Protein backbone atom coordinates (compact mmCIF):
# COMPACT_ATOMS: atom_id res chain seq x y z
CA UNK A 1 0.00 0.00 0.00
CA UNK A 2 1.40 3.39 -0.92
CA UNK A 3 2.17 5.52 2.11
CA UNK A 4 -0.26 8.31 1.28
CA UNK A 5 -3.14 5.87 0.77
CA UNK A 6 -2.23 4.18 4.01
CA UNK A 7 -2.29 7.53 5.84
CA UNK A 8 -5.68 8.40 4.40
CA UNK A 9 -6.99 4.99 5.36
CA UNK A 10 -5.69 5.30 8.90
CA UNK A 11 -7.28 8.75 9.23
CA UNK A 12 -10.58 7.33 8.02
CA UNK A 13 -10.55 4.42 10.42
CA UNK A 14 -9.03 6.29 13.35
CA UNK A 15 -10.29 9.87 13.34
CA UNK A 16 -8.36 12.31 15.55
CA UNK A 17 -10.54 11.82 18.62
CA UNK A 18 -9.98 8.08 18.48
CA UNK A 19 -6.36 8.51 17.64
CA UNK A 20 -5.84 10.53 20.83
CA UNK A 21 -7.39 7.76 22.86
CA UNK A 22 -5.14 5.21 21.23
CA UNK A 23 -2.66 3.96 23.85
CA UNK A 24 0.75 5.41 23.26
CA UNK A 25 3.47 2.88 22.79
CA UNK A 26 6.74 4.62 23.63
CA UNK A 27 8.54 1.35 24.33
CA UNK A 28 7.59 -0.06 20.98
CA UNK A 29 8.57 3.13 19.22
CA UNK A 30 11.92 3.07 20.98
CA UNK A 31 12.47 -0.49 19.87
CA UNK A 32 11.63 0.42 16.30
CA UNK A 33 13.97 3.43 16.47
CA UNK A 34 16.77 1.12 17.61
CA UNK A 35 16.08 -1.13 14.65
CA UNK A 36 14.68 -3.92 16.81
CA UNK A 37 11.50 -5.97 16.63
CA UNK A 38 8.61 -3.79 17.89
CA UNK A 39 7.03 -6.76 19.59
CA UNK A 40 9.84 -8.41 21.59
CA UNK A 41 12.62 -5.83 21.23
CA UNK A 42 15.21 -8.58 21.25
CA UNK A 43 16.20 -9.15 17.66
CA UNK A 44 16.18 -7.34 14.35
CA UNK A 45 12.87 -7.42 12.51
CA UNK A 46 12.50 -9.32 9.25
CA UNK A 47 13.32 -7.22 6.21
CA UNK A 48 10.33 -5.08 5.29
CA UNK A 49 8.56 -5.71 8.62
CA UNK A 50 8.54 -4.17 12.06
CA UNK A 51 8.30 -7.54 13.80
CA UNK A 52 10.89 -10.33 13.87
CA UNK A 53 10.33 -13.75 12.32
CA UNK A 54 9.45 -15.39 15.68
CA UNK A 55 6.91 -12.75 16.68
CA UNK A 56 5.36 -12.81 13.25
CA UNK A 57 4.95 -16.56 13.17
CA UNK A 58 3.49 -16.46 16.71
CA UNK A 59 1.01 -13.86 15.55
CA UNK A 60 0.08 -15.93 12.52
CA UNK A 61 -0.37 -19.01 14.72
CA UNK A 62 -2.77 -17.09 16.97
CA UNK A 63 -4.72 -16.01 13.93
CA UNK A 64 -4.89 -19.57 12.63
CA UNK A 65 -5.98 -20.81 16.05
CA UNK A 66 -8.74 -18.20 16.27
CA UNK A 67 -9.85 -19.06 12.78
CA UNK A 68 -9.97 -22.75 13.72
CA UNK A 69 -12.12 -22.01 16.77
CA UNK A 70 -14.52 -20.03 14.68
CA UNK A 71 -14.81 -22.69 12.02
CA UNK A 72 -15.20 -25.46 14.58
CA UNK A 73 -18.11 -23.61 16.20
CA UNK A 74 -19.77 -22.99 12.84
CA UNK A 75 -19.31 -26.63 11.86
CA UNK A 76 -20.76 -27.78 15.16
CA UNK A 77 -23.90 -25.69 14.71
CA UNK A 78 -24.46 -27.09 11.23
CA UNK A 79 -22.08 -25.19 8.97
CA UNK A 80 -24.91 -23.72 6.92
CA UNK A 81 -26.87 -20.47 7.24
CA UNK A 82 -30.09 -21.41 9.00
CA UNK A 83 -31.92 -18.81 6.97
CA UNK A 84 -30.64 -18.66 3.39
CA UNK A 85 -28.54 -21.83 3.29
CA UNK A 86 -25.20 -20.24 2.54
CA UNK A 87 -22.36 -22.70 3.25
CA UNK A 88 -19.21 -20.63 2.74
CA UNK A 89 -17.80 -20.48 6.28
CA UNK A 90 -16.11 -17.16 5.56
CA UNK A 91 -19.56 -15.56 5.48
CA UNK A 92 -21.02 -17.44 8.41
CA UNK A 93 -21.25 -16.53 12.05
CA UNK A 94 -22.94 -17.78 15.20
CA UNK A 95 -26.21 -16.22 16.27
CA UNK A 96 -27.89 -16.45 19.64
CA UNK A 97 -31.33 -17.73 18.67
CA UNK A 98 -33.52 -15.75 21.10
CA UNK A 99 -31.79 -12.55 20.08
CA UNK A 100 -29.89 -12.02 23.30
CA UNK A 101 -26.61 -12.33 21.47
CA UNK A 102 -25.18 -9.07 22.58
CA UNK A 103 -26.20 -9.45 26.19
CA UNK A 104 -25.01 -13.02 26.30
CA UNK A 105 -21.68 -12.15 24.77
CA UNK A 106 -21.29 -9.53 27.46
CA UNK A 107 -22.05 -12.10 30.11
CA UNK A 108 -19.40 -14.29 28.60
CA UNK A 109 -16.96 -11.48 29.19
CA UNK A 110 -16.45 -10.16 25.70
CA UNK A 111 -18.76 -8.03 23.59
CA UNK A 112 -17.71 -9.84 20.45
CA UNK A 113 -14.95 -11.44 18.54
CA UNK A 114 -12.83 -14.49 18.78
CA UNK A 115 -13.00 -15.00 22.52
CA UNK A 116 -16.65 -15.83 22.09
CA UNK A 117 -15.85 -18.86 19.94
CA UNK A 118 -13.30 -20.26 22.33
CA UNK A 119 -15.80 -19.94 25.19
CA UNK A 120 -18.46 -21.74 23.17
CA UNK A 121 -15.93 -24.49 22.67
CA UNK A 122 -15.07 -24.61 26.39
CA UNK A 123 -18.77 -24.85 27.25
CA UNK A 124 -19.11 -27.77 24.86
CA UNK A 125 -21.20 -25.77 22.37
CA UNK A 126 -24.35 -25.13 24.43
CA UNK A 127 -27.79 -25.09 22.83
CA UNK A 128 -29.54 -21.90 21.82
CA UNK A 129 -27.21 -20.91 19.02
CA UNK A 130 -27.51 -21.21 15.28
CA UNK A 131 -25.43 -20.50 12.22
CA UNK A 132 -26.39 -17.45 10.19
CA UNK A 133 -24.52 -15.67 7.44
CA UNK A 134 -23.57 -12.04 8.04
CA UNK A 135 -26.37 -10.83 5.79
CA UNK A 136 -29.11 -12.73 7.56
CA UNK A 137 -27.60 -12.00 10.96
CA UNK A 138 -27.49 -8.24 10.33
CA UNK A 139 -30.93 -8.25 8.76
CA UNK A 140 -32.35 -10.15 11.71
CA UNK A 141 -30.99 -7.59 14.15
CA UNK A 142 -32.15 -4.69 12.03
CA UNK A 143 -35.69 -5.88 11.26
CA UNK A 144 -36.23 -8.34 14.09
CA UNK A 145 -36.51 -11.05 11.45
CA UNK A 146 -34.57 -11.66 8.27
CA UNK A 147 -36.55 -10.50 5.18
CA UNK A 148 -35.87 -13.97 3.73
CA UNK A 149 -38.28 -15.33 6.36
CA UNK A 150 -40.79 -12.50 5.96
CA UNK A 151 -40.88 -13.15 2.20
CA UNK A 152 -41.67 -16.82 2.80
CA UNK A 153 -44.85 -15.95 4.68
ZN1 LIG B 1 10.25 -10.23 17.97
ZN1 LIG C 1 -28.03 -16.29 5.20
ZN1 LIG D 1 -31.96 -14.58 5.61
Q: How would DSSP label each residue in 63-74?
A: HHHHHHHHHHHH
Provide the domain count of the chain.
Answer: 1
Domain-embedded: residue 66: no
Cβ–Cβ under 8 Å, residues 131 and 74:
yes
Q: What is the pLDDT of residues 60-102, one digit of tens each?
A: 999 999 899 999 999 999 999 999 999 999 999 999 887 654 5
Range of the domain at 138: 78-152
Domain-embedded: residue 43: no
Q: What is the pLDDT of residues 6-55, one digit of tens each?
A: 677 666 666 665 555 556 678 899 999 999 999 999 999 999 999 999 99
- The burial of 7, by beta-carbon neighbours within 10 Å (0-12 exposed, 13-18 middle, 19 or more buried), is given as exposed
How many Å lie between the centroid of ligand 1 and the Cα of residue 114?
Answer: 23
| 8 vs 140: which has the higher pLDDT | 140
Domain-embedded: residue 28: no
How far apart are the C-alpha atoms of 39 and 30, rounded to whole Å? 11
How many Å lie between the centroid of ligand 1 and the Cα of residue 60?
Answer: 13
Domain-embedded: residue 130: yes
Three-class SS of residue 45?
coil
What are 133's strand-pairing partners?
92
Domain-embedded: residue 56: no
Domain-embedded: residue 137: yes
How many Å lie between the centroid of ligand 1 and the Cα of residue 26?
Answer: 16
pTM higher than 0.75: no
Amino acid sequence: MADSIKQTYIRMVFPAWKWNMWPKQPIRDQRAAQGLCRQCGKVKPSPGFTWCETCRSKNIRTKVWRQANREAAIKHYGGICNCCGKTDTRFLTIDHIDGGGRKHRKELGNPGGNHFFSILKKQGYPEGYQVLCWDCNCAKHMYGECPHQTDKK
